[in-house]
């Protein structure tokens, strides 16, 4: 069978359509853009612009450091002058300057109580009284007998010895009457009363306590190893939770020569000036015994020095880049080292410098010689450093306390 000459030949469906010239040009442009961006990303870290013209950056030469050249990170302390005190801390209990137990001199039933706990009584005030009926009868009888015998003596009817006997009996009766009253011996405050109206008491029963708070005592214990640090007349300070803003002062009045059995401490008693009578008997107090005091002296932390043989020394930091003065290790004057802030690290070198110590406590040391005000030292010695060792001061401490 032959094909019809008028029919067009069949089109092959697998044959590729010819690429249009316009689409091909856009594709090439996109490829070149991608190539240019990739090239810029590769070379941009290595070029810089000067006067609007691109220039290659100079290549940094990274030098390897030996172990000796790697700076050691340290914390610094700026030496300064302060008022330095050393106090021995202790805990104590407040007591009245004069504190007594109230007891009746006679046995009997309590009839009157004139003051409540905590009230103030003036010298001579009657705090409480027993049943006085029997005592009053005896006193009235003795008074009448004295008056009668006085008249008989004036008439010459009795001898003088009889009159004197009547006077003694009256005085005895009056004394018996006075014993039924509990009288304030001085100005003070009624403490806790242990008896009530109607209770029977004898001479051994405690009615309550009476305290004078014009001054106060604080009693506290000192352990055996510290007893040589305290002496009579030594100044003390006292603070209490009730008045945290106030500091009370006083001095040691007595030191017990006997060690307390359970606490193994020496009992110390200090008299405190009780301004406005704020301190009350039984309060808990924090005591500071002043052992040492000196104004405007150089002080460093105890952790900032070391001892080698019989010599004490510190590590003084000198900033790099400065010119040394005569007799000073290379580096900038230490006063020029500003406190490191915002993560800034100060590079410096070490000078191992001997010092002399005037007084030492567990926290701080007073410097007698070897350091100047404003110098920077290594604050916390974690490792041994050598002369001219390199350090990085990451933090500068300005105060000890």
- pLDDT tens digits, residue range 76-109? 999 999 999 999 999 999 988 788 899 999 999 9
Q: Which residue in the block uniquely carries the two structure tokens 């100047």?
A: 372
Flag residues of the chain having pLDDT under 50: 1-8, 13-14, 19, 322-337, 339-342
Q: Residues spanned by CATH 2.40.30.170 within the chain?
A: 88-94+213-294
Q: Residues spanned by CATH 2.40.50.100 within the chain?
A: 106-208
The pLDDT value given to residue 252: 96
Q: What is the second-level CATH architecture of the domain 106-208? A: Beta Barrel (2.40)
Q: Residues spanned by CATH 2.40.420.20 within the chain?
A: 72-82+295-397
The pLDDT value given to residue 62: 53
The pLDDT value given to residue 49: 64
Is residue 143 within 8 Å of residue 196, measured between CB atoms? no
The pLDDT value given to residue 330: 45
The pLDDT value given to residue 71: 85
Fold of the CATH domain 88-94+213-294: Elongation Factor Tu (Ef-tu); domain 3 (2.40.30)
What 3-state class would DSSP assign to 181?
strand
The pLDDT value given to residue 135: 92
What 3-state class would DSSP assign to 31?
helix
- b/e per residue, 163-187, with b = 16+ CB within 10 A? eeebeebbeebeebbebbbbebeee
**What CATH number labels 72-82+295-397?**
2.40.420.20
26's tokens: 């856009």
The pLDDT value given to residue 375: 93
374's tokens: 């404003």
């Amino acid at each position: 069978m032959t094909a019809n000459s008028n029919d067009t030949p069949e089109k092959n469906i697998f044959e590729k359509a010819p690429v249009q010239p316009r689409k091909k040009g856009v594709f090439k442009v996109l490829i070149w853009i991608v190539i240019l961006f990739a090239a810029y990303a590769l070379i941009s870290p290595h070029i810089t612009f000067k006067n609007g013209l691109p220039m290659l950056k100079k290549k940094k030469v990274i030098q390897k450091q030996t172990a000796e050249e790697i700076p050691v990170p340290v914390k610094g302390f700026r030496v300064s002058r302060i008022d330095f005190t050393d106090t021995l801390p202790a805990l104590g209990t407040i007591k009245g300057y004069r504190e007594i137990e109230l007891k009746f001199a006679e046995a009997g039933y309590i009839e009157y109580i004139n003051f409540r706990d905590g009230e103030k009584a003036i010298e001579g005030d009657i705090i409480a009284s027993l049943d006085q009926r029997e005592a009053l009868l005896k006193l009235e009888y003795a008074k009448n007998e004295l008056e009668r015998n006085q008249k008989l003596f004036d008439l010459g009817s009795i001898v003088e010895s009889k009159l004197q006997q009547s006077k003694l009996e009256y005085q005895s009766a009056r004394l018996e009457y006075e014993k039924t009253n509990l009288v304030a011996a001085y100005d003070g405050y009624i403490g806790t009363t242990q008896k009530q109206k109607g209770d029977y008491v004898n001479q051994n029963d405690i009615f309550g306590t009476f305290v004078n708070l014009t001054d106060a005592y604080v009693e506290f214990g000192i352990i055996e190893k510290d007893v040589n640090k305290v002496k009579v007349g030594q100044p003390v300070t006292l603070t209490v939770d009730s008045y945290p803003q106030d500091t009370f002062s006083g001095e040691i009045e007595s030191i017990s020569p006997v060690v307390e059995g359970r606490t193994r401490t020496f009992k110390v008693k200090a008299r405190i000036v009780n301004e406005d009578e704020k301190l009350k008997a039984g309060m808990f107090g924090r005591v500071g015994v002043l052992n040492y005091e000196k104004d405007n002296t150089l002080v460093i932390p105890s952790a900032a020095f070391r001892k080698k043989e019989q010599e004490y020394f510190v590590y003084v930091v000198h900033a790099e880049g400065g010119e040394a003065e005569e007799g000073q290790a290379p580096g900038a004057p230490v006063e020029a080292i500003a406190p490191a802030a915002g993560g800034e690290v100060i590079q410096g070198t070490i000078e191992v410098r001997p010092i002399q110590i005037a007084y030492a406590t567990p926290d701080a040391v007073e410097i007698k010689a070897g350091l100047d005000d404003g110098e920077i030292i290594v604050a916390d010695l974690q490792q041994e450093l050598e002369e001219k060792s390199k350090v990085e001061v990451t933090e500068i401490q300005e105060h000890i306390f």
